[in-house]
Amino acid sequence: MGNQCIFCQIIEKKIPANILHEDDLVVVFSDISPQAPTHLLIVPKVHVPGLNDIAEGHSALLAHVPLVAKAHARRLGLAGTGWRLVCNCGPDAGQTVPHLHFHLLGGGPLSGRMA
């Protein structure tokens, strides 16, 4: 893993986070700067800088992410009213941490602001 990466440090338990779920492929934790009443981050355990860096070998991981998101949306009561799953790619899109991650947003009406 990229040992200077903040998400890698969270995955390695070197930096504390409110981890809500962990399995072989991803870690899910609360965003420290939430942009919605519910704002979770779904972060792959493998260090991939962003969507531009995904490869064929990441297919299982990429299929797993929406399933994890759906499970958390249901658990949090968001499934009936709606939720958003966002992945920013690059600084112009708002990606501030160079480690592939997905934002699960919900808990009320969401503005046009994506994450």
Residues annotated as catalytic are 101
- The span from the CA of 101 to the CA of 70, in Å, is 15
- In angstroms, rounded to a whole number, what is the distance separating the alpha carbons of residues 61 and 78? 23
Instruction: Assess contact for 100 and 52: CB atoms under 8 A.
Output: no
As given in the structure block, the two tokens for residue 32 are 């420290």
Phi-psi label, residue 107: left if phi above 0, alpha if psi -120 to 50, beta otherwise? left
